[in-house]
Amino acid sequence: MLSEVISAAYLALWISSCAFASAEDPFMTRALQLMSETPLIDGHNDLPWQLLKQFNNELNKVDLNTLETTHTNIPKIKKGRLGAQFWSAYVPCETQYKDAVRQTLEQIDVVHRLCQKYPETFMFATSSQDIMEAFHMNKTASLIGVEGGHSLDSSLGTLRAMYHLGVRYLTLTHSCNTPWADNWLVDTGSEPSQHNGLSPFGKQIIVEMNRLGMLIDLAHVTEAVMNQVLDMSEAPVIFSHSSAYSICPHKRNVPDDVLTKVKAKGGIVMVNFYNDYVTCSKTANISNVADHFDHIKKVAGAEIIGFGGDYDGVTRLPEGLEDVSKVPKVVAELLRRGWTDEETKAALGNNLLKVLREAEKVRDNLKGKSPDDVPIPFNEVKTSCRTSYGYRNAGAVHSLGTLALVLTLALQALIT
């Protein structure tokens, strides 16, 4: 009996302490309220990569309820009020020209299996409607983004197959050039440009992604690619995990002139929490992260901002943001800085929902358009690991396809 009384006393003390803490920080109270009304949608989380590195994707050996070697587990997700997550299907650049497609398919499979293993927590999602349905069911909507164009092996057919498997964005490059696009390291001078941005086939990729309704992710690309895509894409684009270059001049971040173009296109920049992109140093804090939100809002408005923490894909995180459970602290900090409820809800998830809906609208408007089946020229992808099946007379066909693409883009420019 005495033990029951003691337990009840401890419970009462815990409840009162929580109430006191809540009363002590009205901004956190308001943050949690807003997060109960609008889903927090995060643009990039590398948990699938950690499951490959640590467990070789053997999910039967993993319990996400108790896993402590990652930034992300189910208790942390619940505490962090994570409404929707784009899980990254990432494989390293070393897989390019080798087994990139297989490895990426296995990472896509991992996301599907996570949803199957933990149906009470995750709901697989492929649309804006799915996100809201999961949110109303108190589940985390689970979407897939493929991080790196090398995962396609320069194949439009592979792009379409991945879309059918649920992939809803493609990061055009990671940290290596593909046979059709330059990566961000080119802007640092550490790698040469191969395409001055996008090759003709790279532009085919953009057009086909618009037709499919797959979001184009410009994190990890050169400024030339950013501008080319912003000029030609019919749908809004995203930066799934990048911050503001004016606050931290790292080439993975977004310059102000590009921010204004993202606004004009109706796109979104989802702020990365990696210290190196937040402060350009090894240390950072919550206030430093909020500085990026403030700057992007000042330059292009609150309507282009989102969250792209990059948890489980980075080695250094700001003090106070060590795992996904801590994200509400950023929301509270924005409110503390005078962000309105509407602006905060926009950054939480409404902006991403708007972008996704617009991409879906573009897809629906293009539903009468045939899939592009003109392959990349064989000489642009020829390696000892690649066969030439299907390439008979393909060079001449591709020349016509490229000419048609150039004419189409010229026509679009004249119309706009």
Pair of tokens at residue 313: 């894909």
- In whole angstroms, give the CA distance from residue 381 to residue 179: 7
Residues pairing with 169 in the sheet: 145, 215
Pair of tokens at residue 228: 């080319």
How far out from the chain centre does Cα 84 lie? 11
Phi, psi dihedral angles at 64 (to 5 degrees): -70, -10
Is residue 147 part of the annotated active site? The answer reads yes
Residue pointed to by tokens 């039967």? 60
Picking from 90, 22, 85, the residue whose alpha carbon sits closest to that of residue 352 is 85
**Catalytic residue (choose from 195, 241, 292, 398):** 241
The DSSP-derived string for 149-178 is GGGGTS-HHHHHHHHHTTEEEEES-SSS-B
How far from 60 is each of 55, 110, 226, 349, CA to CA, in Å? 9, 11, 41, 32
Is residue 136 part of the annotated active site? The answer reads no
- In whole angstroms, give the CA distance from residue 131 to residue 363: 18
Picking from 190, 289, 189, the residue whose alpha carbon sits closest to that of residue 241 is 289
**Catalytic residue (choose from 42, 223, 310, 323):** 310
Q: Please check whether residue 142 is in contact with residue 59, taking contact to mean a CB–CB distance below 8 angstroms.
A: no
Residue pointed to by tokens 């994707």? 57
**Catalytic residue (choose from 71, 150, 195, 220):** 220
> DSSP class of residue 125?
-
**Catalytic residue (choose from 71, 174, 250, 295):** 174
Is residue 323 part of the annotated active site? The answer reads no
**CA angle, 171 then 201 then 188, to 5°:** 50
- In whole angstroms, give the CA distance from residue 215 to residue 239: 10
Is residue 241 part of the annotated active site? The answer reads yes
How far out from the chain centre does Cα 92 lie? 16
**Catalytic residue (choose from 46, 294, 333, 372):** 46
Is residue 292 part of the annotated active site? The answer reads no
Catalytic residues: 44, 46, 147, 174, 220, 241, 310
